[in-house]
Structure 1
Amino acid sequence: MRFMMMVKGDTNYEQGIPPRPELVAEMDKFIAEMTRDGVLLDTGGLAPSAVGAKIVVDRGELRVIDGPFAGVKEVVGGFTVIQAKSIDEALELGSRFMRLHLRVLGESYSGECEIRQML
């Protein structure tokens, strides 16, 4: 089964502040491990919503809304597509990824990773 893990942005992300080098190094190790284990299918970070746009259809009208978007905690900052045997395995990988953030960034870190099975 394929799953997409979407990590929500935070205020640093929306301000265009790059992740701390220690976090990038730990993420690189985890990505290498998932690649070696044949679990990782794709991964990537996204630019802040300030340089993005969204297309909204409402009451028959199509509108383009330029970023930045309200609700930073709802904006996806990055994604990973994995091949897992079950939702439990996907949740374990997502939990490891978020624990990595907590370990590097400390207890003041607040974040969210949404995991959804791909159809």
Structure 2
Amino acid sequence: MKFMILVKATKDSEAGVMPSEQLLTAMGKYNEELVKAGVMLAGEGLHPSSKGARVRFSGAGRTVIDGPFAETQELVAGFWLWEVKSLAEAIEWVKRCPNPMLEDSEIEIRQVFAAEDFGAEFTPELREQEERLRQQVASKG
């Protein structure tokens, strides 16, 4: 099962406060554990929302909204993509994570949809297209 692990933003992360050498070292060690265990597929930190934008969809219309965004508790400061056996395993890994922020913080765990989750609407043709695209992406990496 794949899970997206979302590191929620804080006032400091949104202010652009960078992690200390101590935190970077602890996170590097933690990431090494994830890789050695075959859990980590990807992971990155994100710039503050002040350097980003949102695109709002309304019918055929598109509206661009420049950051920053006020709802800090709803923002993401970083992520991992993990392959684990269950939600319980993902929770156990997150509980071992160093606090990713200089202040109280939160990490959200969300399962990634698999092809079989979409049922009959995900036709054989759509499955073939999805597999072809995944192979193209993998070949660029």
Answer yes or no: same fold by TM over 0.5. Answer: yes
Determine which of 79, 99, 102 is the counterpart of 1:101: 99
Q: Does 1:112 align with 2:110?
A: no
Alignment of 1:23-62 (within 5 A): 23-58=23-58, 60-62=60-62
Residue 95 of structure 1, CA deviation: 1.7
User: Which of 1 and 2 has greater Rg?
Assistant: 2
1:34-77 deviation digits (Å, cap 9, x = unpaired) = 10111110000011000000001136531000000011121100
Q: Which residue of 2 aligns with 1:85?
A: 85
Higher relative contact order (CA 8 A, sep 6+): 1
What is the CA–CA distance in structure 2 between the aligned matches of 1:101 and 1:23, rounded to whole Å? 8
The normalised TM-score by structure 2 is 0.75
Question: Please, which runs of 5 or more residues in structure 2 have no aligned partner?
Answer: 114-141
TM-score (norm 1): 0.88
Task: Flag the structure with higher strand content.
Answer: 1
- AA partner of residue 113 (structure 1): I
Structure 1 unmatched ranges of 5 or more: none
Which structure features the higher share of helix residues?
2
- Percent identity over the alignment? 39
